[in-house]
Amino acid sequence: MEVCLDAANGASAAVARRAGLTETGRGPTPEGVTAPGEVGIEVVWRVTADGWAAGH
């Protein structure tokens, strides 16, 4: 599973972390800033099927 969030979205990052996902990368958001409060940096969170099974 992969989740991509704006770096300013700390609440959703906390949910991803609690769900067992790991931050795997950061970079400019392809579409740029699209909403107030965004910073335009995409943070990628991932977990593999094996990682998900091991954590639940």
pLDDT of residue 56: 57
pLDDT tens digits in sequence order for the chain, 56 residues long: 999 999 999 999 999 999 999 999 999 998 999 999 999 999 999 998 888 888 75
Domain with 26, as residue range(s), is 2-55
Residue 21 has what pLDDT? 95
pTM (2 decimals)? Answer: 0.84
Number of domains the chain contains: 1
The CB-side HSE value for 17 (13 A sphere, CA atoms) comes to 8
**Cα distance between residue 30 and residue 55, in whole Å:** 31
